[in-house]
Amino acid sequence: MDTSAVDPLAGSLSHADRLVLVWQPLASLPEPVELADLNRHAVAFLALLGTLDEPPPPLEESPQLAAHLHRLDQKLDLLLNLTGQWLKRELALPAPQPLRLGLRGVVWQATLPGGPGRISVYLHGGVPTALELPAQLLALDDGSVLAEFRGLDPAVTDGLERYIFRCHRRAVAQARRPG
């Protein structure tokens, strides 16, 4: 079968973007205790991303409180962005690169040997923390690689699906905007 014509992320939504990613090869996939820890952190991180993109509910009964909360939200956004920029410089992360994120894994252009490892993807510019997941790296015929997720809890898969759907919904809304 010609795998160059097969899309490894076909069958579900995926999100194409330019993001920082780091592949860390490992001798083997994580043991159950480490795997549970990775899953727990991934669920918490994906939930955090959902709250960052969500606007606060309107407070019709108290416009002064709503204005105060809006200013506070802006200050927190500024603080997150400044902290994120500072940490990015300190971490010396690689440059963002084109990739596709799906429920099955992450696809990007690279020439790396296959094997087990950990993929770290920095999903939000203002949050200098990565989504870190165990994966098996597979070389594809078109010169790209697929970091195929392994050992994900259903809660991680659900959070990832919600994140990808929000990105897809945002891209559709931006495409519909005139101008």
- Which of the four pLDDT bands, split at 50, 70 and 90, describes residue 67? confident
- Structural domains present in the chain: 13-54+94-176 (2.40.10)
Please say if the pLDDT value at position 1 is more than 60.
no
Please say if the pLDDT value at position 3 is more than 50.
no
* Verdict on whether the full-model pTM lies above 0.85: no
Cβ atoms of 108 and 149 within 8 Å: the answer is: no
pLDDT at 171: 83
Please say if the pLDDT value at position 5 is more than 60.
no
Please say if the pLDDT value at position 99 is more than 90.
yes
Separation in Å, CA 77 to CA 37, 52, 65, 71, 84:
28, 9, 18, 10, 10
Please say if the pLDDT value at position 53 is more than 80.
no
Does residue 63 sit in helix, strand or coil? helix
Q: Give 29 or 91, the one with higher predicted confidence.
A: 29
Please say if the pLDDT value at position 27 is more than 50.
yes
**Among 49-58, 135-144, 164-173, which stretch is predicted with the lowest mean pLDDT?**
49-58
Please say if the pLDDT value at position 78 is more than 70.
yes
pLDDT at 4: 42
- Which of the four pLDDT bands, split at 50, 70 and 90, describes residue 65? confident
The strand pairing partners of 147, in sequence order, are 106, 137
Q: Tens digits of per-residue pLDDT, 100-124? A: 999 999 999 999 999 999 999 999 8
Half-sphere exposure of residue 150: CA atoms within 13 angstroms, side-chain side: 19
Mean pLDDT within 31-52 = 93
Whole-angstrom distance, CA of residue 77 vs CA of residue 124: 12
Of 167, 175, 55, 74, whose CA–CA distance to 121 is shortest?
Answer: 167
**Amino acid identity, residue 141?**
D
